Structure 1
């Protein structure tokens, strides 16, 4: 059996109708899993279901609300009989400064990026315990280590908190054979990013990234599936950065770097 064979397993993907979320849903379906997609956008959920060839159930859920999360998780377990995997993708931010951000802005962004994954982890743990274990992956951000350029301090703080939560949850849930890890994307061209970014930033990013391009949602979905598969059975409480090399901190683009060296 392939170490990425998910036949008979059930995965929940939050933010499942977005760019990274929908790519992850399709990857799981292709690998044989049954998938429940959580998202706040019913229209995009309907589009996801129409575009999917495998067993996917859709749930219009605000993952920042504990009661809604708990109810949706119960529905998934009742429908599919088990829950093996949780992928927390839902997230987002706003380009506020400390001066311009309101207390409501702070609470909303931290709630979506940090509190919501906590709610989902708390909700699925009993179901995973009942089947002897599971895998949890939260999508963080390179902002866990560097300040976010496109979003504000609330986003940077929340994504940094994702790593602390991942470590702590990995320790507590290890006794239940539940592994907890994180995937930290860099610049990913999702439909949401495509809609909000300006032409200057769109052109500048590839020059800053050693691989010389934006990443695709599929390139984030692949390491998510790795952490959910038996290929990573020795990994918990850790993370992988998927950013095209942006984190190496080069001060020059590739052309300038090699030009200075006569190459």
Structure 2
């Protein structure tokens, strides 16, 4: 039987809330230490008080090269290295294409895709230099496969994350670094509030979704942590859809609501 060892030293982006926070919590509960990287300094501070030395809070943007490099350097000095990177940070400014402001397109693509590139580049550099291997888990979305009304930038960015993950797996495998991607459906997070708080959308979603409910963040954290663990030691360059049957059950027509 393969012993399931979870990473002991991890960077988690978007760690202040939602899926990122749930991943950080599960890693710490499994005996690991986490560098939590997020823009929300207040929520980071709250978690730092709760978890003590196991939680190193760094506020900054995944789109800022200097901030990312600083976060990686802090992980090296405070955690002693990096065993795993979880690219979770995301953002969305929804609007139909002909109404979508160019700056809102740029914002979404920067957070969703550029952030994954920057964090992967600098965390992987640290892993390669340490020559101990490692794991990278990207959080994409089922909207990498399914169009989202008003979410063209988000869907395009998440599709890019999926292919970027495959390419990273191809290039980093020779260094013992595995790269995989999780594709969530609808998750009960602050970013999904525009959908979760709309009674019409949720009525349609619950009528069509196979499991009749959105996921809780912990239900995405568990498979993400698994992919970074020793139990997934021969899994790389793949995608795991964790959507409660969202893709096969159908999804609401958001054009009626946005």
TM over 0.5: yes
C-alpha separation between the residues in 1 aligned to 2:39 and 2:9? 21
* 2:43 matches 1:44: yes
Distance 1:2 1:42 in 2: 39
Report if the CA contact (8 A) 1:181-1:236 is conserved.
yes
- Unaligned ranges ≥5, structure 2: 253-258
Q: What is residue 256 of structure 1 aligned with on the other side?
A: none
Aligned to 2:64: 65
Q: Kindly tell me the number of residue pairs found equivalent between the two proteins.
A: 250
Are 1:165 and 2:159 counterparts? no
Distance 2:222 2:213 in 1: 18
Unaligned 5+ residue runs, structure 1?
Answer: 253-263
Partners of 2:84 and 2:135 within 8 A in 1:
yes
Is residue 49 of structure 2 the alignment partner of residue 33 of structure 1? Answer: no
Partner of 1:6: 6
Change (3 A) 1:133 1:152: same
What CA RMSD, in Å, does the superposition of the two structures yield over aligned residues?
2.0
Using structure 1 for the length normalisation, give the TM-score: 0.89
Give the match's secondary structure for 1:99: helix
Residue in 1 that maps onto 2:106: 107
CA deviations over 1:109-156 (Å, ceiling 9, x no partner): 00000000000000111221214200000100000100124x521111
- 1:144 is aligned to 144
Q: Does 1:124 align with 2:123?
A: yes
Match of 1:260 in 2: none
Alignment of 1:85-234 (within 5 A): 85-129=84-128, 130-149=130-149, 151-194=150-193, 197-234=197-234
Of 232-241 and 96-105, the range deviating more from structure 2:
96-105
Residue 53 of structure 1, CA deviation: 6.0
Contact 1:69 1:123 in 2 (8 A): yes
Runs of 4+ in 1 over 4 A off after TM superposition: 249-252
Q: What do residues 13-66 of structure 1 show as CA deviations (whole Å, max 9, x unaligned)?
A: 000011111110000001111101000010111122233366010000111011
C-alpha contact 1:36 1:58 (8 A) present in aligned 2: yes
Name the structure 1 match of 2:255: none
Deviations for 1:144-203, whole angstroms, at most 9, x for unmatched residues?
100124x52111100000111011000000111000000000011114434763222233
The 1:131–1:79 alpha-carbon spacing in structure 2 relative to 1, beyond 3 Å, is: farther
Distance in 2 separating the partners of 1:145 and 1:3: 34
Instruction: Give the structure 1 partner of residue 17 of structure 2.
Output: 18
Measure, in 1, the Cα distance between the counterparts of 2:87 and 2:105. 20
Largest Rg, 1 or 2:
1
Whole-angstrom distance in 2 between the partners of 1:247 and 1:170: 25
Q: TM-score, normalised by structure 2?
A: 0.91
Q: Distance in 2 between matches of 1:3 and 1:58?
A: 30
1:206 offset after TM fit, Å? 1.8
The answer (yes or no) to whether the contact 1:170–1:181 under 8 Å persists in 2 is yes
Distance 1:35 1:131, change over 3 A: farther
